[in-house]
Amino acid sequence: MNLGKRPSDKELLYRAREDPEAFAALYERYVDKIYAYFYYRVGDAGDAEELTARFFHRLIERVHLFEDRGVPVSAWLYRIAHNMLANWLRDRSRRAEISLEGLLYHQADGKRPEDHILMQEEQERLLEEVRRLPPDRQQLLYLKFVEGLSNAEIGRIMGRTEGAIKSLYHRTLVSLRRRLKSDGREAEGGEGNRRSS
């Protein structure tokens, strides 16, 4: 009996070529994730909504192009989203921004206002450094920390091996740590201070 079985993404995608209900089910399954992906990268709810709408319009046009090559449907969808975002950013000639409100959570209970200010300054500095990363590293951090995907899943989405993702992730964290330490020393000691090697 097949009544309780939830269709796979591939089944929905193939059925969506002819069946609007299958496309609606695929939309429901991915709309929040695609919106979050765009919102994380552009930092503006209106822009993220516009990009999400464009994404699903484009998906309707391209649903017949999907071929099962052993790659998850999510990888194919995120690749479309990534390409759309790259074009959108290039067309507008502006950098992606990350919304602090959408990403950072902390408890307000029991903390002094100074603690919140210091915490916010540290978070802003971290996000500033994340914004300076190349797009592939920003995408990696998004998929890892916001979507909670494994290295293998991220590798399929980004078209890289699991080992390459592990290496890129490690290099990204080391680079961020080095930049944050360097910025901290410069802020404390001014221009004359020794820089890290």
What percent of the chain has a predicted confidence (pLDDT) above 70? 76
Q: How large is the average pLDDT for residues 20-35?
A: 92
Query: What CATH topology corresponds to 110-188?
Result: Arc Repressor Mutant, subunit A (1.10.10)
The two three-digit tokens of residue 7, written as one number: 């269709």
8 A C-beta contact, residue 147 and residue 75: no
What pTM did the predictor assign?
Answer: 0.58
Cβ pair 165, 154 in contact under 8 A = yes
What residues does each domain of the chain span? 1-103, 110-188
For residue 92, give Cα distances in angstroms to 24, 78, 85, 87, 137: 30, 21, 11, 9, 21
Q: Where is 135: in which H helix or E strand?
A: helix 135-141
More confident call, 71 vs 3: 71
Average pLDDT, rounded, for the chain: 78
The pLDDT > 90 percentage for the chain reads 21
pLDDT in tens, 62-97: 888 888 888 788 888 988 998 898 888 888 754 444
CATH fold for the domain made of 1-103: Rna Polymerase Sigma Factor; Chain: A (1.10.1740)
Distances from the Cα of 22 to the Cα of 30, 88, 144, 178, angstroms: 13, 28, 29, 48
In this chain, the answer to whether the domains covering 1-103 and 110-188 adopt an identical fold is: no
DSSP symbol at 108: -
Q: How far is CA 91 from CA 17, 36, 71, 73, 130, in A?
A: 30, 21, 29, 27, 22
- Which tokens hold the place of 67? 């071929």
Q: What's the pLDDT tens digit per position in 123-159?
A: 777 777 877 888 888 888 888 887 788 888 888 888 8
